[in-house]
Amino acid sequence: MAVEQVASGKGQAGGSLHAMGVICGLAAGVWLGAAEAPTKLVNAGFSPFAVSLCMVAGVFTARWTFPTLLKGTSYVFADLLAKKHLVVWAILAGALWAVANTLTVFAIRDVGLATAFPLWNTNSLIGLLWGRLLFQELRGAGPKNTIKVVVGAIAIVIAAIMLGFSTIHGTGAVAPHAIRGLIAAAGASLMWGTMYIPYRKAYLSGMNPLSFVTAFTIGELGTMFALTWTLDGGIHSSAFQLVQSKQLLFWLFLGGFVWVVGDLFQQFAAKYLGIGRGIPLSNTNQLWGLAWGALVFGELATADRSHRTLVLAGSILMIFGALAISTAVASSREHLSRNEALERECVRYGLEYREVLLAQSGDEFGSRTERRRWWDVLIVATATGIFLWLGLNAVVPPLAMNLHWVAALSVVLFVALAGGGWALWKQTRFS
C-alpha cells in the first residue's frame, strides 16, 4: 500500500516531501549565497586556478566529513557498490563543477561579481530544459503548475540580473576584458546547468545524495588539479604559494565548507522536487549574496536611488518566483510520469523497482548498517584538525565589515541549517 501511495503521489506523503524539498531549496540559497565572499581573494594576486583549487580542497575536506558524520562510510560505500554505474556519473558531475567554478573566478576577475553572478545563475533555466527533455519533468503537471514553475524560474533569473545591476554604480567604465568575462560566466552557466543531469540520474536510481557527493568530490579535486597543473604553470603555479599562505587559506577552506552545506541542501532539493523546481529555489542565493555584500561589506553605501530601487524590485520579484515554484505541488499524473522515468532507469541498469521507488521517497534500505567504524572517527577528527590548524593561523582580511550584520546573517545561516536539517532527519533520516 505504501509503495502504491508513493507511486501515485497521493496522500500526505507527496505533500510533505514537496514541503521538505522546498525547505531544502531555500536553505541551499541561504548557504550558497554566503559562500561567495572568498572569491574576492582573486584580486590578491593569485590566479583563478589557484583560488579555485584551494576552495575545492576545502570542499573535498567537507564533502567527506558530512557523509561520514551523518551516515558512516559503511553506508556510503554500500550505496555506491549497489549502483556502480552511477559512480562515473558522479565523477563527471564533479568535473563539470570544477570547470564551472574556475570559469566563475575568471568571470569575477574580468567583469566583477555583480555582473557575473546573475549570468551564471541562468543555469536554472538550462537545468529546467534538461529536466524536461531527458527526464520528462513537468509531464502531466497541468497548465497551472507548469506556468508556476516556468514563470517562477524566469522571474528568479530576471531578479538575479536586476540585483546584479543594482550593485553597479559609479563611472560605468567598461572592464578591459569584459567580453572574456561574460563568455566565462555564460560557460559556467552551461556547465552547471548540464551538471544537473547526473544529479537527476542518481536520484532516479535511488542513490543517497550523501553517497553521490562522496564520489562527486573525486571528480572535482582531480579535474581542478589537472587544470591547475596544465594551464597555470605546473609546479610554478601560484596555487603552491597560496598553500603556504595559511592566513588566507583558511578563508578559502571556510568558503568551501559553507558551499558544501548549501550544495547538500541543493542535492536533497533536486532529489525530492526535481531539477526543474529544486535548482531555481537554490538560486535564490543571489538574494543572500547581495545581503552579505550590501549589509556586511557596504557595497551599496554609495548607490543612488535608481540602484536601490533595483534592489527592492529585484528582491520582490525573486520572492515572487520562489513562492510560485514552492506552491507548484506535483500532481498524481506528474508523479506517475516520474515513476515511468524511474522504471526506465531500473530496466536499463538492472535495479529493483520497489527498492528504488522507496528510496526516491526517503524510505530506503532499512537493513543497511550505519554503524560507525574507527576510521569514521579518524576522518572527522582529521578534517576538524585541518580547520582548527588553519583557523589558528588565519588573519582577518583587511576589509571593512559591519560585525552586527555578520552576526545577524550568521544567525540566519544556523536557523536555515537547523530547519533544513530537522526536516530531513525527521522524515528521511538524511536518505
Q: What's the whole-number average pLDDT of the chain?
A: 80
Decide if 251 contacts 259 (C-beta within 8 A): no
H or E, element range at 211: helix 209-231
- State the pLDDT at residue 394: 78
Alpha-carbon dihedral sign for residues 217, 214, 420, 123: positive
pLDDT value at 254 more than 80 = yes
Distance, CA of 60 to CA of 260 (rounded, Å): 9
pLDDT value at 416 more than 90 = yes
Residues 6+ apart with CB under 8 A from 66: 210, 213, 260, 261, 264
pLDDT value at 397 more than 50 = yes
- State the pLDDT at residue 43: 53
pLDDT value at 175 more than 60 = no
List the grid coordinates of 21.
524539498
Percent of the chain with pLDDT over 70: 86
Rounded mean pLDDT, 227-234: 81
List the grid coordinates of 287.
538574494
Q: CB-hemisphere CA count at 13 Å for 381? A: 6
pTM of the model: 0.85
| Residue 91 banded pLDDT, cuts 50, 70, 90 | very high
List the grid coordinates of 242.
597560496
H or E, element range at 31: helix 11-34
Q: What are the residue ranges spanned by the domains of the chain?
A: 2-428
List the grid coordinates of 33.
549565497
Q: Tens of pLDDT along 2-55? A: 444 444 444 445 568 888 989 999 999 999 988 866 655 545 567 777 777 888
pLDDT value at 405 more than 80 = yes
Min mean pLDDT across 141-155, 218-232, 240-254 is at 240-254
Decide if 37 contacts 256 (C-beta within 8 A): no
